[in-house]
Amino acid sequence: MSTPFDTIENRPTAVFAAFLAVHAAVWTALPSALYPNLPLDLIEALAYGREWQLGYDKLPPLPWWLVEAAYRLFGHDVAFYALAQVAVAVAFVAVWATARPLVGAVGALVAILILDGLHYVNYTAAKFNHDVIQLPFWALAGYAFHRALRTGRLAQWGLLGAAIGLALWAKYFVVVLAVPLALFVIVDARARQSLRTPGPYVAAAVALLVAAPHLVWLVQNDFLPFRYADVRAAHARNLFDYVSHPLEFAASQLLFLLPALAIAAPLVWPRPRDADAGANTYDRRIVTVLAFGPAVTLVVLSLATGRALIAMWGYPLWLFLGLWIVMQGAAIDRGRLKRIVTIWAVVFVGFALAFIVNYAVLPRYDGRYRAAHYPGEQLAAEMSGRFRAAIGRPLAYVVSDMWTGGNVGHYAPERPRVLIDGEPRRAPWIDLGDLKRRGAVVVWTSGDAQTLPAAWRAIAADAVVQPPLRLPFRSGVNTLTVGWAILRPES
């Protein structure tokens, strides 16, 4: 009688397809069921993406465009969670395609199972954002880089350039991928031979061509988003920070890698008598730079500059770690395969149960703030209905911070536009004359709920403050106190 492990060994490609389907289904269904309110990154995406700009004051526009497109095509929040899983699935396929000729189909499947031990591709990927959208482009770049160096085909070099260019539209973080790949081509004796061919220059040209519209926008806008990046990566305060910042980041990544390393453990324990020799040394060098090059680059930059690193920047760094481990480990016999699959199943179910506990059970007891339980829909209904009752027309504009105003902008039936933080420089697409002609609501949730925040008086000095609202969170015991005011139309 055939067992599941017979199927894995005999039909690994079909098993991989089934894995993709199960993974996507579970991690689309869980946030759809347990996030009564969209998380911060998606609310922000909807506030920005609807404006269809070539650039914004914080980050590149691609993920925000994709979220807005998903909203317009499907009109339901589940589309955003499915979009995240599409990004993850494409990354899985690219890693699988890279691994299969190197370690075989079963080895490629094991590499994917190890990768699935990272919360970056399941638990936290539900919050589709600039980190998640990096995954498919980094994985495609890794696939193309390996194939280009091994085959020399211009199509593969072109794909590499396209992946790098698109990754820039996703997040400027792509520099820590591009730098080690370029250095490898220069330093490695065999890879350096490619510099005598058109390939690397085609890749560079394609990358620049794909990224050109956004690069032009950056120059025209004095590299505006880099100011946000400068704030995020805190400066060193003393000499100790030059060491502590990269060490803290490395420690966070090691902690996040523990489930993946547990899945990989049967490849190295019991200690293998001989490592798999299916890949040659050149392949191993290429995969090594894919697996560790970006992380090492990031740590070196932190050591050199003293800048702090954000733990969640690790999203795309480890895509090829599973493949690297499979290439170094033992041949995958039936016993090791059973242990790998068993540990993966425990980790997979563990992540799912942790998600359920965090969003369905703990909110009843711990009182911790969770953006996914924010009363955004009720807040939007109150603002929309009260403005319409007072003014007699639909709500067109909200003056507020990104999170509060973005919730109103998404959940209100009119989808009002958000003047972020009341600062025209943060939302230059807003016509202030039209805002004053049509009126707006001003909304805040911190400070005195009965006093218009000073920062917004330049835009809404004439707004009439209304009685505060108290709205219960979607679960748990928290209550949101809302200050708000009506900026009446000029005429």
pLDDT digits (tens, 9 = 90+) for 312-339: 999 999 999 999 999 998 789 899 999 9
- 350 and 435 fall within a common domain: no
Six-digit token string for 276: 């798999």
Q: How far apart are CA 414 and CA 388, in angstroms?
A: 11
Q: How much is the average pLDDT of 79-107?
A: 97
Most confident segment among 234-243, 328-337, 379-388, 452-461: 379-388
- 292 and 348 fall within a common domain: yes
Q: How far apart are CA 138 and CA 263, in angstroms?
A: 23
The lowest-confidence range among 231-235, 265-269, 382-386, 450-454 is 231-235
Residue 386 lies in a domain: yes
Domain boundary residue, one of 306, 330, 361: 361
- 226 and 265 fall within a common domain: yes
- 412 and 285 fall within a common domain: no
Q: How far apart are CA 298 and CA 309, in angstroms?
A: 8
- 344 and 378 fall within a common domain: no
Domain boundary residue, one of 361, 396, 420: 361
- 401 and 302 fall within a common domain: no
- 102 and 207 fall within a common domain: yes
Decide the pairing of beta strands 479-487 and 440-444. antiparallel
Check residue 229 and give its pLDDT.
82
pLDDT digits (tens, 9 = 90+) for 45-67: 999 999 999 999 999 999 999 99
Check residue 272 and give its pLDDT.
67
Domain boundary residue, one of 309, 338, 361: 361
More confident residue, 475 or 381: 381
Mean pLDDT, the chain, rounded, equals: 94
Residue 120 lies in a domain: yes
Check residue 256 and give its pLDDT.
97
Check residue 278 and give its pLDDT.
57
- 246 and 161 fall within a common domain: yes
Range of the domain at 332: 4-361
If one counts the domains in the chain, the total is 2
* 274 pLDDT higher than 60: no
pLDDT digits (tens, 9 = 90+) for 256-272: 999 999 999 999 887 76
Residue 366 lies in a domain: no
- 30 and 61 fall within a common domain: yes
Residue 95 lies in a domain: yes
pLDDT digits (tens, 9 = 90+) for 24-46: 999 999 999 999 999 999 999 99
Q: How much is the average pLDDT of 172-178?
A: 97
* Backbone phi, psi, residue 442, to 5°: -110, 125
* 14 pLDDT higher than 60: yes
Check residue 277 and give its pLDDT.
46
* 441 pLDDT higher than 90: yes
- 476 and 406 fall within a common domain: yes
Q: How far apart are CA 371 and CA 115, in angstroms?
A: 28
Check residue 1 and give its pLDDT.
60
Check residue 237 and give its pLDDT.
86
Q: How far apart are CA 72 and CA 254, in angstroms?
A: 39
* 232 pLDDT higher than 90: no
Check residue 279 and give its pLDDT.
66
* 403 pLDDT higher than 90: yes
* Backbone phi, psi, residue 229, to 5°: -60, -35
* 109 pLDDT higher than 80: yes
- 300 and 419 fall within a common domain: no
pLDDT digits (tens, 9 = 90+) for 181-224: 999 999 999 999 999 999 999 999 999 999 999 999 999 999 99
pLDDT digits (tens, 9 = 90+) for 237-258: 888 889 999 999 999 999 999 9
pLDDT digits (tens, 9 = 90+) for 123-160: 999 999 999 999 999 999 999 999 999 999 999 999 99
Q: How far apart are CA 345 and CA 263, in angstroms?
A: 9
Residue 236 three-state SS = coil
Residue 368 lies in a domain: no
**For the chain, percent of residues with pLDDT exceeding 70:** 98
Minimal CA–CA distance to 45: which of 444, 413, 406, 418? Answer: 406
- 432 and 470 fall within a common domain: yes
Check residue 477 and give its pLDDT.
77
317 to 102, 135, 159, 313: CA distances (angstroms): 20, 9, 20, 8
Residue 367 lies in a domain: no
Residue 469 three-state SS = strand
